[in-house]
Amino acid sequence: MSVYKWLDERLDLSRLNKKFMRKAFPVHHSFFLGEITLFAFIALVLTGLFLTFNYEPSTRIIKYQGTELPAAYASVLYIDSLPFGKVIRSVHHWSAHIMIAAAFLHLLRILVTGAYKKPREINWYIGLGLLGLAVVTAFTGYSLPYDAYAVTATQIGYGIGASIPYVGQWVSQVMFGGEFPTLRSLPRLYSIHVVWLPLTLLALIGLHMLIMIKQKHTQPRYAEKIAPGKILGVPMMPMQASVMGLLFLLYLGVLFILGGVFIAHPIEAYGPPGASTPAVKPDWYFLWIYGILQMIPNSWVIPLPWGQEINPEFIGGVLIPGILGLAAVLLPLLDARKTKMRYLELPSHHPLRTSVTVGILFFFFVGTLAGWKQELGLSNAVLWTMLILIPLASAAVTYMLMRSIYGKGDQTETAG
């Protein structure tokens, strides 16, 4: 390999090789969740770059093939008419779903195995930030096709942002370019969606991985049995890299089949924005907020000084998700350990943490169910009872089952 040799003599590649390319990757299927998140991000960037070639962030009405349409909507129709245009737009859309789903499952894996503890608190926080920013990025993408669904969904986001006491109007008007929809709205949201957030995500992903390489992966429990005290795993080059390469190609293959068979967000079906509201629900990761917003009666108002108030929109759209976020931020501080963690904790050894996680998942499920409040004919009283009792009951049942099956948990683990 004379090219390698030539580069090596100039860039000292073998030193880099020794330092990074031999990094050991533990072998466990749950360790691929973070990688799938990364693959989805790469696919989003690549398909997104393609979309920027022809997308026009403008709400101005133009004539497109004889019909008066907003320029953004017409440009998405044009993208759809290109060879594979619709499929690439679908892959972009589905990849956003997969990125959020994989990131959430990755977070769950970290949560139930206690990997947020010392020394990995920093990466827990970066990860939380990444998940939050990924959701915001997905949301800013909602508005861009500028169809009836896009406008309605973005309108609701504007209203939720504006409901924050004191600063809400400012936050929403800066994010949405004035009182949405204005002529400034799409350029603003487009800039945020394709420049600011992706660059921030990219920087944070880089940091997330550098810290992971520096601190080394947590080791699965089997590593302790086979070779206690040693780092066990396959090296990045060539083994992990080939698996990753294969998995990425597999990801692209599956996504292109999925995107080709299920065209995402067919804008002709929603039509350009009109006077009436289309009958739509938000994407699955917002359904629990959507459900809870429908459950909060308009009497839940707490006045604040200077004519401000905490209102139902703020409680459902900001406060409740914010409390869950705050709990995640406080977790490494509340459940701390003194020594550095080397091996993953087994969920079965930590019945309290595992059962609280199960309870939180049921909270999401019931909130999501409330998204069908009208269709299911459920009253607020029934839904609130379910939203409070089902998570508590499921956590309690899980805790009791785990205690009876696994006993008190592993006492030795916390010591070392």
Partner 1 sequence: MSKKNVTSRRAVIQASLGAGLGLAGLSSLFIAGGLRPKKEITPESEPIKEGDTFVIAQGPDKGKPVTLDTLPLGGPFVLAWPMDPKTKVVKSGERNNLSMIIRFNPDEYDAETKKNSDQGVIVYSAICTHLGCTVSDWLADQKIFLCPCHKGLYDPRQGAKVVGGPPPRPLPMLVTKVSGGKVVAGSGFLSPVGPVGALARNKAQV
Chain residues that interact with partner 1, rule: CB under 8 A? 152, 155-156, 158-160, 162-163, 165, 168-170, 173-174, 177-179, 181-184, 274-279, 290, 293-294, 296-298, 301, 303-304, 307-309, 311-313, 316, 373-374
The least distance separating partner 1 from the CB of residue 280, rounded to whole angstroms, comes to 8
The least distance separating partner 1 from the CB of residue 75, rounded to whole angstroms, comes to 21
Alpha-carbon distance 326 to 319, whole Å? 10
The least distance separating partner 1 from the CB of residue 364, rounded to whole angstroms, comes to 18
CB nearer to partner 1: give 374 or 411. 374
The least distance separating partner 1 from the CB of residue 69, rounded to whole angstroms, comes to 15
The least distance separating partner 1 from the CB of residue 203, rounded to whole angstroms, comes to 20
CB nearer to partner 1: give 39 or 290. 290
CB nearer to partner 1: give 374 or 404. 374
**Do the beta carbons of residue 98 and residue 36 sit within 8 Å?**
yes
The least distance separating partner 1 from the CB of residue 321, rounded to whole angstroms, comes to 15
**Do the beta carbons of residue 129 and residue 201 sit within 8 Å?**
no
CB nearer to partner 1: give 110 or 292. 292
CB nearer to partner 1: give 141 or 168. 168
CB nearer to partner 1: give 156 or 320. 156
Alpha-carbon distance 294 to 372, whole Å? 10
The least distance separating partner 1 from the CB of residue 61, rounded to whole angstroms, comes to 10
CB nearer to partner 1: give 83 or 377. 377
The least distance separating partner 1 from the CB of residue 157, rounded to whole angstroms, comes to 9
User: Count of CB atoms within 10 A of residue 366's CB?
Assistant: 22
CB nearer to partner 1: give 308 or 414. 308
